[in-house]
């Protein structure tokens, strides 16, 4: 178990952040960051949030350029929802292994196997997979989205753990695709048991990408930004967190005086951690890593994402 530690910006970090912010003004760019980014990257962003909040924010922005500090499927969401903007992925090699566990060919095969089922795609999917889906969901709205479809059967892709968590809350028959998050899977029940012994009474809050045995042990199963709200409102002064440890930076900023422990040292997403301030600056200076989606795919994926935004 790891105690969150404060991160102080060094002079170099401050200098890079000032250059990034000046360039953002010059380019009319908005910088958005997922909750798992490095602290100094989160601190330079105009907006930090979970997948749902980032999708909403990017759909609404008036800025000409969106600089996305996160992984590729999230930047694709920005392109899909706001195609007139230039979207730059701050770190071009940052992908999501879970999103890569299914492609559109796999999904079409599953559709043929279960012809009466609707397809709900977690946003952690590529644009072609979204384009083959009926509706998208995020960890913040998955049960509500599943209940919104008319079909009794739902193929849920690609996260089997999120699918299992949804299945326990809906009357619909969920057909899970066998994908998973390599990071959240590292948190095991024994680590939760040990943390509870060390901190009796401290609430355990985990992400639905965790193993079902872990989710069943938690006091709350929430998206990353829902966790921030839960911790802010909780009367507890110590909380045990089961998600990628980048979230602890936001938790400490928004809940001063509370103590957070991350439940496993394995809760680090290597892809989220690839983004560094130097890379953000270079990406902006060179306008590199522009994310594009073929228009026919984009239009179909947009329908699936917009249906989700209507439900949520």
- 264 interface partner picked from ligand 13P, ligand SF4, none, CB below 5 to 8 A per type: none
Closest CB to ligand 13P among residues 124, 252: 124
Do residues 181 and 165 make contact, with C-beta atoms less than 8 angstroms apart?
A: no
Q: What is the rounded CA–CA span in Å between residue 285 and residue 283?
A: 6
Cα angle for residues 206, 139, 89 (degrees, 5° grid)? 105
Site for ligand SF4 in 28-67 (CB under 6 A): none
Q: What is the rounded CA–CA span in Å between residue 111 and residue 210?
A: 26
Residue 286's H or E segment, with its range, is helix 277-286
Closest CB to ligand SF4 among residues 99, 154: 99
17 lies in the site for ligand SF4, by CB under 6 A: no
Q: What is the rounded CA–CA span in Å between residue 43 and residue 50?
A: 15
126 lies in the site for ligand 13P, by CB under 6 A: no
Q: How many residues bind ligand SF4 (CB under 6 A)?
A: 14
Q: Which member of 50, 132, 134, 160 binds ligand 13P (CB under 6 A)?
A: 50
Sign, Cα dihedral of 214, 238, 276, 127 = positive
37 lies in the site for ligand 13P, by CB under 6 A: no
Q: What is the rounded CA–CA span in Å between residue 43 and residue 37?
A: 10
159 lies in the site for ligand 13P, by CB under 6 A: no
191 lies in the site for ligand 13P, by CB under 6 A: no
Q: In whole angstroms, how close is the CB of 165 to ligand 13P at the nearest point?
A: 12
Stretch that binds ligand SF4, among 95-103, 220-228, 247-255, 276-284 (CB under 6 A): 95-103
Reduced to 3 states, what is the DSSP secondary structure of residue 10? coil
Reduced to 3 states, what is the DSSP secondary structure of residue 312? coil
CB-based burial of residue 118 (10 Å sphere; 0-12 exposed, 13-18 middle, 19+ buried)? buried
97 lies in the site for ligand SF4, by CB under 6 A: yes
Q: In whole angstroms, how close is the CB of 213 to ligand SF4 at the nearest point?
A: 18
Q: Which member of 125, 133, 138, 191 binds ligand 13P (CB under 6 A)?
A: 138
Do residues 274 and 296 make contact, with C-beta atoms less than 8 angstroms apart?
A: no
The binding site for ligand 13P (CB under 6 A) comprises 35, 50-51, 124, 138-139, 181, 207, 209, 223-224
The binding site for ligand SF4 (CB under 6 A) comprises 71, 96-98, 124, 181-184, 209, 244, 269, 271-272
């Amino acid at each position: 178990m790891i105690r969150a530690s404060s991160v102080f910006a060094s002079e170099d970090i401050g200098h890079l952040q000032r250059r990034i912010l000046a360039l953002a003004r010059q380019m009319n760019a908005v910088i958005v960051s997922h909750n798992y980014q490095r602290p100094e990257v989160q601190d330079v962003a105009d907006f930090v949030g979970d997948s749902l909040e980032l999708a909403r924010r990017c759909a609404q922005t008036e800025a000409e350029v969106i600089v996305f500090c996160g992984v590729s499927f999230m930047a694709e969401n920005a392109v899909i929802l706001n195609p007139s903007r230039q979207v730059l992925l701050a770190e071009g090699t940052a992908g999501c292994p879970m999103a890569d566990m299914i492609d559109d060919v796999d999904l079409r095969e599953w559709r043929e196997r279960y012809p009466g089922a609707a397809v709900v795609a977690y946003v952690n999917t590529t644009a072609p997979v979204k384009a083959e889906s009926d509706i998208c969901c995020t960890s913040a709205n998955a049960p509500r989205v599943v209940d919104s479809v008319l079909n009794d059967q739902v193929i849920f892709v690609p996260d089997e753990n999120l699918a299992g968590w949804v299945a326990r809350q809906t009357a619909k028959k969920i057909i899970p695709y066998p994908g998973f998050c390599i990071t959240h899977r590292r948190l095991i029940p024994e680590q939760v048991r040990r943390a509870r012994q060390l901190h009796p009474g401290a609430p355990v809050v985990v992400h639905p990408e965790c193993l079902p045995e872990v989710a069943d042990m938690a006091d709350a199963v929430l998206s990353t930004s829902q966790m921030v709200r839960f911790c802010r409102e909780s009367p507890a002064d110590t909380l045990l967190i089961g998600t990628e440890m980048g979230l602890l930076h936001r938790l400490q900023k928004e809940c001063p005086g509370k103590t957070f422990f991350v439940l496993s040292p394995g809760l680090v997403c290597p892809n989220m951690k690839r983004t560094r301030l130097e890379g953000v600056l270079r990406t902006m200076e060179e306008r590199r890593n522009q994310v594009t989606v073929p228009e026919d795919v984009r239009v179909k994926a947009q329908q699936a994402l917009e249906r989700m935004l209507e439900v949520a």
